[in-house]
Amino acid sequence: MSNEGERPVEPTSYDLQPPVPTTGHVPTQLSAEPGDVRRVGGRYRLMGRLGHGGMGTVWRAFDEVVERDVAVKEPRPPEHLDEAGRASFFERLRREARAAAKIDHPSVVTVHDVVLDEGRPWIVMELVDGRSLGDVIAEGTLEEPEAARIGLAVLGALAAAHRRGVLHRDVKPDNVLLGAHDRVVLTDFGIARVEGERPLTETGAFVGSPEYVAPERALGQHPGPASDLWSLGVLLYTAVEGLSPFRRNGTPATLQAVLTAEPPAPSRAKGPLGALIMGLLRKEPAARPSVEELRAVLSDVAAGPARLPQLAGGPAGSGPAALLRRSRPARFAAMGGAALAVLALLLVLLDPFGAKEPDGWEQRTEKTVAATFEVPADFERRKGEADDGRGWLWFSSADGIYEIQVWLHPEAAEEPLRAAEEHLDDLKDNAWRHDLKDVSGNSYVKEYGELDGAEVSMTSRERRADDNAPRDQRLYFFHGGGGDRLWRVQVRLPAEPGTAHDEGMRIYERLLGSFRPQK
């Protein structure tokens, strides 16, 4: 794998056998016959073209050393560039690889390698089987929860990039891939800027996608993380409306709209998501919502259609969504008597400080597992501590159909996906020790609101059960609250499709949606 930008790139494949020479155009689909095979770096066999953009062509390839499918980006510099221009173009490709490799997040594409072939640097990345968000939007707009789910994943990727000093600078639907298991992946760091690196000389053409570029970038000012958040706002607007609010005929007109036009509020996102989008599209970077505000709203919207009550006839600008439309210092000063009355009524109706929820759930703050979360109020509760110091809680319905377990591993530095894989392997290899049989399942990366971890979906049978019916288990592993603490949340439910299974999944999703690790 290529390094993370701390020293000059040293591709791992330079010393392998020379690539098979080719002449002329490489065909879109390459046959498996030895004479027609094109290998890059002596190990990556090109299988077919996936797509192309302004900086190159992306190929599906097969890594013959570790035997896995990968994506390979072939650089294609414009023919009019002179030697200095080509050198700058290739350096941009190397920087793209370094920028992506600096970021460790499940919603950022993984860079495996950079290889030099015929004097050009090729980027080898993970292959994300799926479609781009741009392709999906071309077929129709997204519902609010789905748009918020995708936006939440992209926000997580951007926040991780910004922590490593990387600005993406080209956030748009075509650069967001939707893969298996609801995975969302931000790709194409081709024009990213890394803190501390000398900016490359531009060719004179506008760099980026005009209808998604922030006003400060259009003015040539120094961009910051808020510039990427503006682009996220345009992406969300496009997802729910089907079109960027700044699209015009030609780049100059589009940039002028970015600088001066006030976009209409999205008609298909009128609640908190609509207010959030409009907040992101403020011209002044400092006035845009923070990452924390964005994460809270997107998590709530992604969880489902439930909203705070809207009081008929209330004054414009009052209510919870209005907080996103004002700068933080002015929020409480702007609340007049009418708004305070609305807030007071909401507090009476919702009783947010009470433990019991109106639908039979209760919020619990549990020191044993250092977390606050919601569970059905009538579930029986037990707690314990394992020999290795792990604390755990167990909740069960009176009829035994549903079981919840919450585990806290106080010192577990491994990544959630690794922990999930090891746990599933243990259940499969040592099923008898867990009084199980016929264990099957898989593990994968998944996000639930603010939780960023890995999930196990498995089915098994209990050795001693009278009915021998299959049972589903969903287990979720994630870090949070600082340090090396790792939580494992799991729910057991009937495996057969039907009302009981659906209710079990609802319990699981609400439990995770309400879960808040303590600092």
Q: Please give the positions annotated as active site.
A: 170
Was 73 annotated as part of a binding site?
A: yes
Element (H, E) at 44: strand 44-52
Give me the residues paired with residue 441 across strands: 458
- Total Cβ atoms within 10 A of residue 32: 9
* DSSP β-bridge partners for residue 61: 46, 70
For residue 99, CA distances in Å to 115, 184, 202, 339, 467 come to 16, 18, 18, 46, 55
Is the sign of the CA dihedral 17, 19, 20, 21 positive or negative?
Answer: negative
Distance CA 155, CA 159 (A): 6
CA–chain centroid gap for 165, Å, is: 18
Give the residues across from 181 on adjacent strands: none
Contacts of 133 (CB under 8 A, 6+ apart): 150, 173, 174, 176, 177, 178, 235, 239
Q: How many CA atoms lie within 13 A of 235 on its CB side?
A: 31
Q: How far apart are CA 505 and CA 512, in angstroms?
A: 11
Query: Of the candidates 214, 269, 262, 205, which has an alpha carbon nearest to the alpha carbon of residue 237?
Result: 269
> How far apart, in Å, do the first and last CA atoms of the chain sit?
35
Burial class (CB in 10 A: 0-12, 13-18, 19+), 119: exposed
Residue among 184, 282, 278 at smallest CA distance from 226? 282
Residue found by looking up tokens 């439930």 in the block: 306
Q: Can you give the three-state secondary structure of 374-423, one letter per residue?
A: EEECCCEEEEEECCCCCEEEEEECCCCCCEEEEEEECCCCCCHHHHHHHH
Helix (H, G, I), strand (E, B) or coil at 187: coil
User: What is the CB neighbour count within 10 angstroms for residue 343?
Assistant: 14
71, β-bridge pairs = 60, 125
Packed helices 225-241 and 144-163: angle between N→C axes, nearest 10 degrees: 160
Q: Which amino acids are annotated as binding site, given as ranges?
A: 73
Q: Which amino acids are annotated as binding site for ATP, given as ranges?
A: 73
